[in-house]
C-alpha cells in the first residue's frame, strides 16, 4: 500500500489505517478474540501499518487484543493509543476526564504492558481536559518521549488554540478528529492550523460510523449496546434526510467502479497528502474494500461534483449528544 508522512513528524504509515475500537467496544459486544487477531494480522499482510486503539476501549481489552495480535509483527507496524479519560466513569454516556501528569504516566506504563511493547509510537490525549493546562499535558508527554516510552505526541478533538499551545511545548505530530463528507467542521480553522504547523490529520469515523457505506437506512435498528443508538444523526428522520449524501457517493462509485465507502475514503485522501483515515471494521471483506480505496483515484471532475452537490445538502443531526459534544473542539 502507498505510504504517507503525517505532517512534519516523519511518521510514515500506510495511507489507510485500521481503527480497532469496534472490535471490543461501542458497537455491540466484543467480537471473538481469535477472529479479531486473525483480522489484525491479515491487515498487516495486506499492507496496513497503522493501528489505533485506546485504554478506554473496553476498557483495556482492545489494547490487550492489539498487543497480542501485533506482537509478532511489531517491527512492521505503528501503534497509536490514548490517555485522558477517567476509567471509573461511563465513557459512552457520562465520561470523566483525567489528564493529570501522574495519570498520564500511569497510563503510559500500563498501555506499554498491554500492548506488549517497549515504546508507544503515537500517544494521544483522547479529549482535552479543561482542569489541566495543556502545557502540563504536553510537558508530561515530552518527558515520556525523552524517557524512550513514547515516540510521538498527538491530540484528539482539540481546538486550534489548544493545538498551538501544546505544540509550543512539545511538537504535536498528529491531530485525530472526526472528519468525513458528513463531518466537515475541521475545514474552517483546524485544517489550516495543521497545515501551518506541519501536523498530520488522522480522521476517525471516516465512513460516518457505517452510514457512508450505504448499508444503513431508515429500517436499521441499533441495539442498546450500540453507541449509534444514542447519536442524533442515527435517528430514522436524520438518516432519511442525509440519504442524499449516499446517493451522491453512489453515483461517483458507479462511474469509478467502486463502492460508496471507497469513494468516501478516496475523497479524504484527495484533500491533503498528510491525511490518513482509520476506518474500523470487524470483517475481512470490509477491510479489503477499505484498503482498495487507496488505489481509487477521483478525477478533478469527480471532486468538483462532490463539492458542488455536497454543498447543497444540509446534514441533519448533531454528531454527538450534548454531553459528549461539549468535550470536542476545546
302 found inside a domain:
no
User: What is d(CA 292, CA 294) in angstroms, rounded to the nearest whole number?
Assistant: 5
For 18-71, the pLDDT digits (tens) are: 999 999 999 999 999 999 999 999 999 999 999 999 999 999 999 999 999 999
Per-residue confidence (pLDDT) for residue 94, from 0 to 100? 80
Per-residue confidence (pLDDT) for residue 228, from 0 to 100? 96
For 70-112, the pLDDT digits (tens) are: 999 999 999 999 999 999 888 788 889 999 999 999 999 999 9
Domain count, the chain: 1
Given a cut of 90, whether residue 305 has pLDDT beyond it is yes
Helix, strand, coil percent content, the chain, rounded in steps of 5: 45, 20, 35
3-class DSSP state of 157: coil
313 found inside a domain:
no
Burial class (CB in 10 A: 0-12, 13-18, 19+), 124: buried
- 27, 57, 124, 204: which one is catalytic? 57
Q: Are 282 and 22 in contact (CB under 8 A)?
A: yes
Per-residue confidence (pLDDT) for residue 273, from 0 to 100? 98
User: What is d(CA 182, CA 193) in angstroms, rounded to the nearest whole number?
Assistant: 21
Mean pLDDT over each residue of the chain, to the nearest integer: 97
Per-residue confidence (pLDDT) for residue 91, from 0 to 100? 79
Half-sphere exposure of 304 (CA within 13 A, CB side): 3
- DSSP code, position 121: E
- C-alpha 326, offset from chain centre: 18
285 to each of 35, 42, 43, 256, how far by Cα in Å?
Answer: 13, 11, 11, 19
57 is catalytic: yes
User: What is d(CA 69, CA 74) in angstroms, rounded to the nearest whole number?
Assistant: 9
Band (pLDDT 50/70/90 cuts) for residue 179 is very high
Place of cell 471532486: 303
Residue 201's CATH number: 3.20.20.100
Given a cut of 90, whether residue 124 has pLDDT beyond it is yes
User: What is d(CA 236, CA 245) in angstroms, rounded to the nearest whole number?
Assistant: 15
233 found inside a domain:
no
3-class DSSP state of 54: coil
Question: Span 128-134, mean pLDDT?
Answer: 97
Q: Are 123 and 82 in contact (CB under 8 A)?
A: yes
Burial class (CB in 10 A: 0-12, 13-18, 19+), 156: buried
318 found inside a domain:
no
- DSSP code, position 159: -
290 found inside a domain:
yes
Q: Which three cell numbers stand for residue 309?
A: 452537490
129 found inside a domain:
yes
254 found inside a domain:
no
Q: Are 81 and 124 in contact (CB under 8 A)?
A: yes
Band (pLDDT 50/70/90 cuts) for residue 323 is confident
Q: Are 275 and 242 in contact (CB under 8 A)?
A: no
Domain range for residue 280? Answer: 3-209+271-296
Given a cut of 90, whether residue 232 has pLDDT beyond it is yes
Band (pLDDT 50/70/90 cuts) for residue 204 is very high
Torsion-angle region of 162 (φ positive above 0: left; ψ -120 to 50: alpha; else: beta)? alpha
16 found inside a domain:
yes
Q: Which three cell numbers stand for residue 226?
A: 450500540
Per-residue confidence (pLDDT) for residue 29, from 0 to 100? 93
135 to each of 21, 71, 109, 141, 185, how far by Cα in Å?
Answer: 28, 33, 21, 10, 25
Half-sphere exposure of 309 (CA within 13 A, CB side): 18
Half-sphere exposure of 92 (CA within 13 A, CB side): 16
Q: Work out the percent of the chain whose per-residue pLDDT is above 90.
A: 95
Amino acid at each position: 500500500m502507498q505510504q504517507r508522512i503525517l505532517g512534519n513528524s516523519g511518521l510514515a504509515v500506510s495511507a489507510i489505517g485500521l481503527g480497532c475500537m469496534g472490535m471490543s467496544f461501542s458497537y455491540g459486544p466484543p467480537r471473538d478474540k481469535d477472529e479479531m487477531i486473525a483480522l489484525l494480522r491479515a491487515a498487516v499482510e495486506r499492507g496496513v501499518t497503522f493501528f489505533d486503539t485506546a485504554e478506554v476501549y473496553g476498557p483495556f481489552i482492545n489494547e490487550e487484543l492489539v498487543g497480542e495480535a501485533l506482537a509478532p509483527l511489531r517491527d512492521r507496524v505503528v501503534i497509536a493509543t490514548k490517555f485522558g479519560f477517567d476509567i471509573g466513569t461511563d465513557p459512552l454516556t457520562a465520561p470523566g476526564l483525567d489528564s493529570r501528569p501522574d495519570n498520564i504516566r500511569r497510563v503510559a506504563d500500563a498501555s506499554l504492558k498491554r500492548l506488549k511493547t517497549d515504546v508507544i509510537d503515537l500517544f494521544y490525549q483522547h479529549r482535552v481536559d479543561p482542569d489541566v493546562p495543556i502545557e502540563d499535558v504536553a510537558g508530561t508527554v515530552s518527558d515520556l518521549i525523552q524517557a524512550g516510552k513514547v515516540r510521538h505526541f498527538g491530540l484528539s478533538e482539540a481546538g486550534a488554540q489548544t493545538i498551538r499551545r501544546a505544540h509550543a511545548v512539545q511538537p504535536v505530530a498528529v491531530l485525530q478528529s472526526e472528519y468525513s463528507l458528513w463531518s466537515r467542521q475541521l475545514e474552517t480553522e483546524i485544517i489550516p492550523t495543521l497545515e501551518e504547523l506541519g501536523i498530520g490529520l488522522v480522521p476517525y469515523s471516516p465512513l460516518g460510523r457505517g452510514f457512508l457505506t450505504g448499508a444503513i437506512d431508515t429500517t436499521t435498528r441499533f441495539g442498546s449496546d450500540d453507541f449509534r443508538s444514542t447519536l442524533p444523526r442515527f435517528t430514522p428522520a436524520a438518516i432519511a434526510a442525509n440519504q442524499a449524501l449516499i446517493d451522491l457517493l453512489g453515483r461517483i462509485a458507479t462511474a469509478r467502479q467502486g463502492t460508496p465507502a471507497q469513494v468516501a475514503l478516496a475523497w479524504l485522501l484527495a484533500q491533503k497528502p498528510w491525511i490518513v483515515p482509520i476506518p474500523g471494521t470487524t470483517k475481512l471483506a470490509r477491510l479489503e474494500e477499505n484498503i482498495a480505496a487507496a488505489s481509487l483515484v477521483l478525477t478533478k471532475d469527480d471532486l468538483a461534483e462532490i463539492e458542488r452537490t455536497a454543498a447543497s445538502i444540509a446534514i441533519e443531526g448533531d454528531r454527538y449528544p450534548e454531553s459528549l459534544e461539549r468535550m470536542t473542539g476545546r
